Structure 1
């Protein structure tokens, strides 16, 4: 007796891959129905088939996991008991039926989806419906042969207790099953490509859509791998549990990947919305960085009496500095437009901002009746500079101009 242990590499791999694939396929179906609900789309045959396919996939994964934990699947055949072998053989009858129906239904779902999109293209519907009929017959025939392949029925898993059993040639049956399944996968994969390239779209969009539909090439690879292993009948008879582990892993992988690939075209709106949200977030971040760049330490140049912004409370100083810059800019424009008042304004600013004394009236030789109003305006504009003076900060550019003016006078 060799009970399952978590340190067994291959059996644990089967359990993890099967469970993760089942969760991923369920997530894809949930996103599919959510996308359709957001776009207010009606449910059709493809939606019902994909749900039924997942239910059979659930039965497939549960049966395979039981084979791993209780039937010795994935372990060396030499250490597996007869009871474990009988348990696994019985479970493989269930696995054969559920796996076949799961893959068949997802193929029908995908074909119905193609018909709803490309049905208006000539000759597409007859080909699609023909493939759908072949797929349905394939699934039904494989299911019947799996259940009625041996007489009596118990001989499907216990031939020792039924020595007079009669069974079909299982090796040829498995090879035929794998070959037909691989052919259908490739045919369904290639079916929409000619229709896509007939659409009036840009070449880049045609390539993108083609790549989206050709993701199913992974399923074709899995089907072909199963076909290769089905031809190794000698290995199956001498290493049944190892062979059964590989078949179980590939079977669940094919069913889960088929569901995910069938749901991907329906998730385009979610991908577009998600991409727009990401671009909007990145654009917002770039805009924020551009706004903050002038205040970063790398772009700010220190001036006389400037103080470093070290906390949130320094925002008031930042606002005052900005007002001072605007006031100085306005003052410069005013002086160029009204040169007669520049002298008296500069003198008054020098007296009040630098020396802190009263204005010197002897410098007001300009007609004061003309300049008095302009001087008052200049003082009101320069008031933010006086506010900075209270915080021990000086407008260096303006003071320098005032001192030059004073020296000329």
Structure 2
């Protein structure tokens, strides 16, 4: 912080160390809320990548490091405002706290820079995985340039923050124990803030040209662009932070009072950046959850017939599935299990000899195993395995029978089922009587 000249000191009121005017608890509340949102977003991202997609990569490692520095920044901001006087007027800070206030300001600068850098690198690593081996070389070179620029900004800002004064301790010592000099902190911090805005903008707009070239419908391209464009909220927070850099560090000597919004804007910018970097993974998780929910309710058996079909499906299955039932869209269709080959045999219904109506509901109770041998070459040169023909006819007959049964039950009129022994296979699934 800048120390005011004597003419400015003479205008300040008497210090109030016991009951000073403060900015309130806004910083504490905002930081707690946004840190909670960050932790939830990162936890869902890790769950999606490790358990749903099984696709944990370098971008997830980078977002993990960004989360650690984000937590550190939140702790630093809360301590600076609640303990070291960055929420009150500079003349109300006791002399013994000024040195600690300067140290925590330097710590906040470095922590902010590292958190922002790892967040951008996480996005860049995700962009690399986005193209994979697609051969889009121009996009790879754009990401290369983005990575180099991000790392250069990080190194420059950290170096500038640490070595702003010569010797280094001259930045925080009060009163100074040695002679030294410092660069203008306001100008240096403002320049770093502008470069940080440029880096955020590049990380946000990098994938948009690639997305707009994808072979998909326009509305989907726009949706994906909006998803990646959530980073513009980070840019808005960065603009607010840059304004308060000028207001708190260049336009006034009461830095601790007027820089209070700067602390909030810096923390919110990093928090929103981490959340936006997790957005693509969260979209995948929500899509997966919605599909599972829809599939589960679509497979609920309705009425007694649905329950009977479920029991038949479970009884005739020769091998238990390793997946849950709502992943299988045909698990409860009445012909889905009967048309499968089981050791060279296929299930076909026996002919009706009891004089009953021959409905599918009656025939479902009397099934037998019929072993079919491969067919020999037929006249005309056509060779077709009998197993395949019977399997096809079995599926088609039972499909037709099931539809007729539903229709007859709804009208309370039993419909006799045709005797399939008099049907020969043909190109359309049914043949002529012979």
Quote the offset at 1:234 in angstroms: 6.3
Q: Structure 2 unaligned runs (5+)?
A: 1-15, 304-434
1:263 equivalent in structure 2: 278
Q: Report deviation, 1:144.
A: 1.4
Q: How far 1:113 moved relative to its partner?
A: 0.4
1:205 maps to which residue? 220
> Conserved in 2, the CA contact under 8 Å of 1:11 and 1:68?
no
Aligned twin of 1:143: 158
SS at match of 1:71: coil
Distance 1:104 1:2 in 2: 38
Tell me which of 120, 145, 148 is aligned to 1:130: 145
The secondary structure found in structure 2 opposite 1:238 is coil
1:39 aligns with 2:46: no
- 1:3/1:70 contact within 8 Å kept: no
Picking from 101, 105, 110, the partner of 1:92 is: 105
Indicate whether 1:247 and 2:275 are aligned: no
The partner residue of 2:40 within 10, 27, 34 is 27
Structure 1 SS opposite 2:230: helix
Whether 2:88 is the aligned partner of 1:80: answer no
Quick one: distance in 2 between partners of 1:3 and 1:284? 69
Kept after mapping to 2: 8 A contact 1:60/1:98: yes
Deviation at residue 284 of structure 1 after TM alignment: 11
Calculate the TM-score normalised by the size of structure 1: 0.64
Could you tell me whether the CA contact under 8 Å between 1:53 and 1:106 is conserved in 2? yes
Aligned pair in 2 of structure 1 residues 122, 4: CA closer, same or farther (>3 Å)? farther
Judging changes above 3 Å, is the alpha-carbon distance between structure 1 residues 70 and 2 closer, same or farther for their aligned structure 2 residues? farther
Aligned to 1:158: 173
Displacement of 1:102 after TM fit?
0.5
Tell me, yes or no, if structure 1 residue 108 matches structure 2 residue 139: no
- For residues 101 and 4 of structure 1, do their structure 2 counterparts lie closer, same or farther at Cα, with a shift above 3 Å needed? farther
Instruction: Report the equivalent of 1:196.
Output: 211
Q: Which has the larger radius of gyration?
A: 1
Contact 1:15 1:65 in 2 (8 A): yes
**1:198-237 paired onto structure 2 within 5 Å:** 198-232=213-247, 237=252
Quote the offset at 1:193 in angstroms.
0.7
Aligned residue for 1:231, secondary structure, equals helix
Structure 1 residues 2 and 263: alpha-carbon distance in aligned structure 2, compared to 1, 3 A threshold: farther
Give the drift of 1:283.
Answer: 8.5
Deviations 1:275-294 (A, max 9, x none): 34676799899x99xxxxxx
Counterparts of 1:236 and 1:68 in 2: how far apart (Å)?
21
Paired position in structure 1 for 2:202: 187
* Local SS of the residue matching 2:259: helix
Q: How does 1:49-88 map to 2 (within 5 A)?
A: 49-88=62-101
Alignment gaps of 5+ in structure 1: 289-409
CA shift for structure 1 position 79? 2.9
Change (3 A) 1:42 1:273: closer
Cα deviation for residue 222 of structure 1 reads: 1.2
CA contact (8 A) 1:189 1:217 kept: yes
In 2 relative to 1, CA 242–236 (structure 1 residues): closer, same or farther, beyond 3 Å?
A: farther
Q: Separation in 1 of the partners of 2:158 and 2:246?
A: 20
Post-superposition Cα deviations, 1:296-340, rounded to whole Å, max 9, x if no partner, equal xxxxxxxxxxxxxxxxxxxxxxxxxxxxxxxxxxxxxxxxxxxxx
- With the length of structure 2 as denominator, give the TM-score of the two structures: 0.60
For the aligned residue pairs, the C-alpha RMSD in angstroms reads 2.7
Q: Closer, same or farther in 2 for the Cα pair 1:13/1:254, shift >3 Å?
A: same
- Aligned-partner Cα distance in 1 for 2:72–2:258: 20
Report how many aligned residue pairs link the two structures: 285
Task: Give me the whole-angstrom Cα distance separating, in 1, the residues matched to 2:207 and 2:19.
Answer: 45
Structure with bigger RCO (C-alpha 8 Å, 6+ apart): 1
Q: Is the 8 A contact 2:185 2:249 kept in 1?
A: no
Determine if contact 2:70/2:271 at 8 Å carries over to the other structure. yes
Once the two structures are superposed, what CA deviation does each residue of 1:239-278 show, in whole Å capped at 9, x if it has no partner? 2112332221111111111111101101122211343467
Distance 1:277 1:168, change over 3 A: same
Distance 2:297 2:56 in 1: 36
